[in-house]
């Protein structure tokens, strides 16, 4: 089963202690190689931030927040509060720990659980924007899942996605970062994913294939070998094999990365979430 790492916080403690003389966790970008659980790292988040169209006071919902890198980055860049939700308790614990180390606990908080069961203290529809990065490939019923996200958003709120799609049927090289053997992987084509999101009560305002940008990012990032210091694969079981397999599939075109921006429709019926 994927996402069963249980000693993430202890591993982070060890890695940061090993690099304590050259790494300040509170510095902007210091943890970028460690806490960004998606291809493209912090640069991918930078591509999404403008599409959120945030205004002062907007609260951002990060669905599938992982180790919290995007949430902290958005809070730093914009000053907006961010709430992350993730199903893996060890990841939420690590996200809270890293957020405290970064001095951002006043702006960013995390909850453990599925978005279907998320009951924030804020009233329904209180979130002014949402994002999800590399999450839906583990979700079989994508339309219902995106409806649960829509339930928490104000009408007209923006949803930014950075997601994995598969342009044609092909066997993938397991394990990958999101699945050890493919049994919990539900990747679809870009057209299908867009339709699933729109059927959940959203309208697309931007839908772009970012695969060329991602290939350039991979080449640039690993031009001189692995980046120095603590890195995300160190937190995952068999992490380097999983990342290499993923990068290979992106490079040969078996997988694609799509960036989307959607707005929540102003229809009451889209707030009615059915059970999956």
- Condensed to tens digits (0 to 9), the pLDDT of residues 205-246 reads 999 999 999 999 999 988 877 666 656 666 778 888 988 999
- Whether residue 238 lies inside any domain: the answer is yes
Q: What is the mean pLDDT of the chain?
A: 88
- Whether residue 148 lies inside any domain: the answer is yes
Distance separating alpha carbons of residues 94 and 68, to the nearest angstrom: 8
Encoding tokens for residue 86? Answer: 């993730």
CA distance between the termini of the chain: 21
Overall average pLDDT of the 139-152 stretch: 97
Least confidently predicted of 53-62, 152-161, 213-222: 213-222
The band of 270, judged by pLDDT with boundaries at 50, 70 and 90, is very low
CA distances (Å), origin 155, targets 222, 233, 265, 273: 41, 38, 6, 15
Q: Which domain holds residue 148?
A: 8-267
Overall average pLDDT of the 59-72 stretch: 95
Identify the burial level of 272 via C-beta atoms within 10 angstroms of its C-beta, where 0-12 means exposed, 13-18 middle and 19 or more buried.
Answer: exposed
**CATH number of the domain encompassing residue 124:** 3.40.50.150
Q: Do residues 218 and 165 make contact, with C-beta atoms less than 8 angstroms apart?
A: no
Domain count, the chain: 1
Per DSSP bridges, beta strands 127-133 and 59-63 are parallel
* Share above pLDDT 90 across residues of the chain, in percent, rounded to a whole number: 68
- Whether residue 2 lies inside any domain: the answer is no
Q: Does the global pTM surpass 0.75?
A: yes
- Condensed to tens digits (0 to 9), the pLDDT of residues 164-179 reads 999 999 999 999 999 9
Q: Do residues 161 and 197 make contact, with C-beta atoms less than 8 angstroms apart?
A: yes
Sign of CA dihedral 43, 125, 191, 138: positive
């Amino acid at each position: 089963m994927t996402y069963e790492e249980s000693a993430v916080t202890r591993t982070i403690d060890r890695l940061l202690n090993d690099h304590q003389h050259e790494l300040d966790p509170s510095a902007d970008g210091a943890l970028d190689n460690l806490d960004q659980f998606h291809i493209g790292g912090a640069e991918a988040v930078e591509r999404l931030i403008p599409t959120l169209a945030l205004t002062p006071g907007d609260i951002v919902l990060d669905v599938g927040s992982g180790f919290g890198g995007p949430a902290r980055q958005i809070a730093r860049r914009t000053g907006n509060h961010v709430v992350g939700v993730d199903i893996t308790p060890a990841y939420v614990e690590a996200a809270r720990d890293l957020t405290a180390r970064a001095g951002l606990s006043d702006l960013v908080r995390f909850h453990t659980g599925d978005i279907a069961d998320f009951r924030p203290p804020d009233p329904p529809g209180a979130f002014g924007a949402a994002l999800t990065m590399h999450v839906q490939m583990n979700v079989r019923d994508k339309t219902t899942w995106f409806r649960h996200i829509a339930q928490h958003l104000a009408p007209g709120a923006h949803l930014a996605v950075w997601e994995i799609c598969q342009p044609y049927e092909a066997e993938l090289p397991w394990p990958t970062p999101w699945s050890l053997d493919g049994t919990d992987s539900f990747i679809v084509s870009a057209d299908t994913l867009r339709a699933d999101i729109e059927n959940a009560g959203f309208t697309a305002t931007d839908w772009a294939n970012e695969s060329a940008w991602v290939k350039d990012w991979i080449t640039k990032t690993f031009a001189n070998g692995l980046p120095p210091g603590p890195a995300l694969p160190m937190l995952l079981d068999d992490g380097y094999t999983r990342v290499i397999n993923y990068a290979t599939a992106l490079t040969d075109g078996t997988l694609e990365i799509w960036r989307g921006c959607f707005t929540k429709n102003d229809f009451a019926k889209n707030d009615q979430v059915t059970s999956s």
